[in-house]
């Protein structure tokens, strides 16, 4: 008896513990858009702010290279080994599967084989700069939730800029500069994210931390999202409520972590030394084996789901909203102007649903009454979102002449006070 009771309590504790770990109280939930609750008026919907889960956004990316012929292998060429830059007997050949290094190998999950990476042509045209723009596009607004990580196979570049766009590539802003010598390359003093604070978190910095040529463990470049979150949420991100509060009230901060596109501008390959060895130009090229971008679809806190259709991402909108980002009200749900949801108050936030009706414009027709801005309570003879339809229209016999005792009205009826108010504008 005692054993079974203990096992039952233990099972309950394990369940509660796992739930608490998945949903820490300080994070805010935002995983449910609405729930049904019981009130004096019966069962109704209670609406909350909500957002999709974070995911690996690389699965949905489109990549373009500029110049488009910068990938090695056409025509075939030899290049130097990664570990020994003077062993120059490796070959890149676009016509041979085992020797090709196309752009999609930047995103393969495990790699076709140990040499799974994209690679540029070598710096054979030196001293002409070897420069490449790699553009990652989602055709959707994305909110970043984790560090951007780029893994190089040829040593990290001596000079690089990571840029972002918020308008689908029409305009670009720098996210961060990377260089072996920030002052020489970009006329900027070197900094790291650790040098920033809450007040300077939006500062665009140049870092020398990730630009060290052929040294051991020198393959990875970060753009630190979580370290910036930590200025508001604490070093272990335990106080996400504080971060959400800042995101809710500071548009510039919210926009900083929001993108539609990323651009990696490779300006100078890894040389490992001050001077370029013109006798061994096959040593110098770019090669990327992995890019990681984690985030969620931006749905303005009006959706928990984001689906892919015809290679495009769309929010599965709630709260009577619609559009790729849930950025407008549905038809007939414009009793007040559209507004994004709010993280506040923690933990459920505010849904800011698009209203069916309001008490000033009285969008409910044919004598309907607006209930809590969410629905129209219609007279017995009428139906529809705005009470715009006669119920008898659904019957086989149709509507008699006296059905409803009035003709169907096909537009919002303004109250007399509103009309008088408008007339008053002309009088005074």
CB 193 within 8 A of CB 127: no
Give the integer Cα–Cα distance in Å for 179 and 205.
11
- The pLDDT of residue 338 is above 80: yes
What integer is the mean pLDDT of 78-104? 87
More confident residue, 358 or 415: 358
Give the best-scoring range by mean pLDDT among 237-241, 373-377, 388-392: 237-241
pLDDT tens across 249-305, in order?
999 999 999 999 999 999 999 987 778 889 889 999 999 999 999 999 999 999 999
The residue written with tokens 């984790």 in the block is 146
What integer is the mean pLDDT of 217-237? 91
More confident residue, 90 or 9: 90
Give the integer Cα–Cα distance in Å for 117 and 268.
19
More confident residue, 282 or 386: 282
- The pLDDT of residue 6 is above 80: no
Q: Where are the alpha helices (DSSP H) in 120-190?
A: 182-186
Q: Which of 349, 319, 350, 324 has the alpha carbon at shortest distance from 335?
A: 319
Per-residue pLDDT band at 108 (split at 50, 70, 90): confident
CB 260 within 8 A of CB 313: no
Per-residue pLDDT band at 411 (split at 50, 70, 90): very low
Give the integer Cα–Cα distance in Å for 424 and 416.
12
CB 288 within 8 A of CB 120: no
In which element (H, E) is residue 79 found? strand 77-79
pLDDT tens across 116-171, in order?
899 999 999 999 999 999 999 999 999 999 999 999 988 899 999 999 999 999 99
- The pLDDT of residue 317 is above 70: yes
Among the listed ranges 42-51, 195-204, 307-316, which one has the minimum average pLDDT value?
42-51
Half-sphere exposure of 259 (CA within 13 A, CB side): 27
pLDDT tens across 45-62, in order?
888 999 999 999 999 999
pLDDT of residue 10: 46
Going through 145-286 in order, the beta strands assigned E by DSSP cover 148-152, 159-165, 173-179, 206-207, 220-223, 258-268
Single pTM value for the model: 0.80
pLDDT of residue 409: 44
- The pLDDT of residue 320 is above 70: yes
Domains and CATH numbers, the chain: 55-297 (2.60.120.260)
| Tokens describing residue 368 | 């309907």
Neighbours of 118 (CB within 10 A): 27
- The pLDDT of residue 204 is above 90: yes
Give the integer Cα–Cα distance in Å for 269 and 122.
9
| Tokens describing residue 333 | 């749900």
Among the listed ranges 41-45, 261-265, 361-365, 398-402, which one has the minimum average pLDDT value?
398-402
Sign of torsion over alpha carbons 281, 118, 170, 338: negative
pLDDT of residue 83: 65
| Tokens describing residue 229 | 């979150």
| Intra-chain end-to-end CA distance of the chain, in Å | 85
């Amino acid at each position: 008896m005692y054993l079974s009771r203990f096992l039952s309590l233990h099972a309950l504790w394990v369940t509660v513990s796992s739930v608490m770990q998945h949903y820490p109280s300080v994070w805010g939930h935002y995983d449910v858009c609405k729930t049904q609750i019981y009130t004096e008026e019966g069962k109704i919907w209670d609406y909350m702010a909500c957002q999709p889960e974070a995911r690996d956004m690389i699965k949905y990316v489109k990549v373009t290279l500029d110049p488009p012929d910068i990938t090695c292998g056409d025509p075939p060429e030899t290049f130097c080994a990664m570990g020994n830059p003077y062993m120059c007997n490796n070959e890149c050949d676009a016509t041979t599967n085992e020797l090709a290094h196309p752009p999609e190998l930047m995103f393969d999950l495990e790699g076709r084989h140990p040499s799974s990476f994209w690679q540029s042509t070598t710096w054979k045209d030196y001293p002409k700069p070897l420069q490449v723009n790699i553009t990652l596009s989602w055709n959707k607004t994305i909110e970043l939730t984790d560090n951007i990580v780029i893994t190089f196979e040829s040593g990290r570049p001596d000079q690089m800029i990571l840029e972002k766009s918020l308008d689908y590539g029409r305009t670009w802003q720098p996210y961060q500069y990377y260089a072996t010598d920030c002052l020489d390359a970009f006329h900027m003093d070197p900094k790291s994210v650790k040098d920033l604070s809450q007040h300077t978190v939006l500062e665009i910095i140049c870092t020398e931390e990730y630009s060290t040529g052929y040294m051991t463990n020198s393959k990875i470049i970060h753009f630190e999202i979580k370290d910036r979150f930590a200025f508001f949420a604490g070093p272990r991100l335990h106080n996400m409520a504080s971060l959400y509060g800042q995101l809710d009230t500071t548009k510039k901060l919210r926009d900083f972590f929001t993108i539609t596109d990323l651009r990696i501008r490779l300006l100078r390959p890894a040389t490992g030394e001050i001077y370029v060895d013109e006798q061994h130009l096959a040593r110098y090229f770019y090669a990327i084996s992995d890019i990681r971008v984690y985030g969620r679809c931006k749905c303005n806190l009006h959706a928990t789901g984001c689906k892919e259709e015809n290679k495009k991402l769309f929010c599965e909108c709630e709260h009577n909203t619609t559009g790729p980002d849930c950025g407008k009200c549905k038809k007939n749900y414009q009793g007040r102007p559209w507004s994004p949801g709010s993280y506040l108050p923690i933990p459920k936030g505010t849904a800011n649903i698009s209203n069916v009706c309001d008490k000033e414009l009285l969008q409910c027709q044919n004598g309907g009454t607006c209930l809590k801005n969410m629905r129209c309570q219609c007279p017995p003879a009428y139906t529809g979102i705005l009470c715009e339809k006669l119920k008898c229209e659904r019957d086989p016999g149709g509507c008699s002449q006296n059905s409803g005792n009035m003709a169907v009205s096909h537009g919002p009826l303004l109250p007399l006070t509103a009309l008088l108010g408008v007339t008053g504008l002309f009088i005074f």
